[in-house]
Amino acid sequence: MTTIYDVARVAGVSTATVSRVLRGSDVVRADTRQRVLGVIEALGFIPDASARGLSWGRKGIIALVGLNRGTDEIDIERSSLMFIDHIVHAAEQVLRGTEYSLLLTFGTRGEQFDKRIRALAAKADGLLLAEEILGPRELRSLTAQVPVVVIAGNPGQAAADAYLSDNASGMTALAAHLTGQHRYRRLCFVAGPKDAPDAVARQAAFEQAVAATPDSGIDQVIYGDFSEDSGVSAARILLGRTALPQAVACANDQMAIGAVRELQRAGVRVPADVAVTGFDDLYPSRIIDPPLTTVSQSIHELGRRATHRLMARIASPGLAPQAELLPTQIVIRTSCGCRPQ
């Protein structure tokens, strides 16, 4: 391995000068700099980041931790760009312009995962936690050691900065559309995992909105896990009933897509026989027939802001934790029963 000592020796200067050239210090004489640069090039020298990090006190790394929901790993290959992938792209895009790099890991909650998160924390200057992956105690203990920003976590915890989408307002608007414009009265809700704050918020908002509408009610709540497969299962449960509800609102697009496809497979027409809606506005929602009425949230913006905040917090650790709520917007397509425009 080539070190700064090798470069210094070959160039006939001290390691300090090499270091100055590397850091771009302007006190180095032009010809010295050129000579050193030449040697660096010739030797293919790459300064070791561990040594630099140790010396400088910063590693130039930000870690992103994402949640893998229960399903098979194989599923990933057969599924769409999901929440976590958008966060990855957003964070990477922000970091691309800086000297930081993005480190990442996914996992399912548990002791094992907690250990891995600590291992990641050791390698990074700050942590981005996507979804609720740590209990309050673990989160607090982590924030004591390293800057942490939580995305789509439980808004209750003030231990770290939090970035959330306004699930409630979007879902409320969607419910109003179903019960208002379409006058659906017998509704069904396909909920997400109970440990996902987003899922809980969406369900609560939907139930509340429907409860506030005279004559309307929620027939049945079916619990899924955000996966397309669980949407399929939900549809099967619906198909086993004596009568379908008028509308099925799903806690995310993936489940809605699974439900639509399974209903269609059984000969049920969407939205003629039953309306179906989603949440997220992912790419396949526009592709599917009928195009999905859903609520869009800007996951990318969520990731972007959270990353910026983390960098700000690394720069000045004293910052008071804050929470930010990003707007959501209802997207009317045709799966709710609206006509194509």
Partner DNA sequence: TTGTATGCGTTATCAC
Partner DNA sequence: GTGATAACGCATACAA
User: Which spans of this chain sit near a copy of itself (rule: CB under 8 A)?
Assistant: 1-2, 44, 46-54, 59-61, 63, 73-74, 76-82, 85-86, 88-89, 92-93, 95-96, 99, 101-107, 116, 118-123, 141-142, 144-146, 257, 261, 283-284, 287-289, 298-300
Edge-to-edge strand ranges of the sheet holding 217-223 = 217-223, 186-191, 247-250, 275-277
Element of type H or E holding 51 = helix 49-56
Q: Does 273 bind DNA (CB under 7 A)?
A: no
Judged by beta carbon distances under 5 to 8 A according to partner kind, the member of a copy of itself, DNA, none in contact with residue 76 is: a copy of itself
Element of type H or E holding 150 = strand 148-151
Judged by beta carbon distances under 5 to 8 A according to partner kind, the member of DNA, a copy of itself, none in contact with residue 111 is: none
Place of tokens 């509340």: 208
- Shortest distance, position 100 Cβ to a copy of itself, whole Å: 10
- Shortest distance, position 207 Cβ to a copy of itself, whole Å: 29
d(CA 214, CA 264): 31
Judged by beta carbon distances under 5 to 8 A according to partner kind, the member of DNA, a copy of itself, none in contact with residue 166 is: none
Distances (CA, A) of 264 to 77, 225, 239, 333: 24, 21, 11, 18
Nearer to a copy of itself, 106 or 189 (CB): 106
- Shortest distance, position 33 Cβ to DNA, whole Å: 7
Tokens of 49: 């980041």
CB 95 within 8 A of CB 136: no
Exactly one of 19, 68, 101, 264 binds DNA (CB under 7 A); that residue is 19
- Shortest distance, position 65 Cβ to DNA, whole Å: 20
Q: Does 13 bind DNA (CB under 7 A)?
A: yes
Pairing mode, strands 294-297 and 328-331:
antiparallel
Exactly one of 9, 15, 43, 89 binds DNA (CB under 7 A); that residue is 15
Nearer to a copy of itself, 35 or 116 (CB): 116
- Shortest distance, position 122 Cβ to DNA, whole Å: 8
Tokens of 36: 């050193």
- Shortest distance, position 246 Cβ to a copy of itself, whole Å: 24
| Region 44-63 residues binding DNA, contact defined as CB under 7 A | 45, 47-48, 50-52, 54-57
Residue closest to 332 by CA, chosen among 273, 270, 284, 290: 290
Position 309, amino acid: R
Residue 247 has phi, psi (to 5 degrees) of -145, 145
Nearer to DNA, 23 or 265 (CB): 23
Nearer to DNA, 12 or 38 (CB): 12
Judged by beta carbon distances under 5 to 8 A according to partner kind, the member of a copy of itself, DNA, none in contact with residue 13 is: DNA
Q: Compute the C-alpha angle 227/200/301, nearest 5°.
A: 75
**Binding residues with DNA: total (CB under 7 A):** 31
Of 11-19, 141-149, 244-252, 276-284, the window that binds DNA (rule: CB under 7 A) is: 11-19
d(CA 8, CA 3): 9
List of long-range contacts for 84-90, beta carbons under 8 Å, 24+ apart: 84/130, 84/131, 86/299, 86/300, 86/303, 87/128, 87/130, 87/151, 87/299, 87/302, 87/303, 87/306, 88/64, 88/303, 89/300, 89/303, 90/299, 90/300, 90/301, 90/302, 90/303, 90/304, 90/307
| Region 56-95 residues binding DNA, contact defined as CB under 7 A | 56-57
Exactly one of 22, 43, 204, 244 binds DNA (CB under 7 A); that residue is 22
* Strand-pair partners of 189: 221, 249
The residues that touch DNA, with contacts defined as CB under 7 A, are 1, 3-5, 12-20, 22-23, 27-29, 31-33, 45, 47-48, 50-52, 54-57
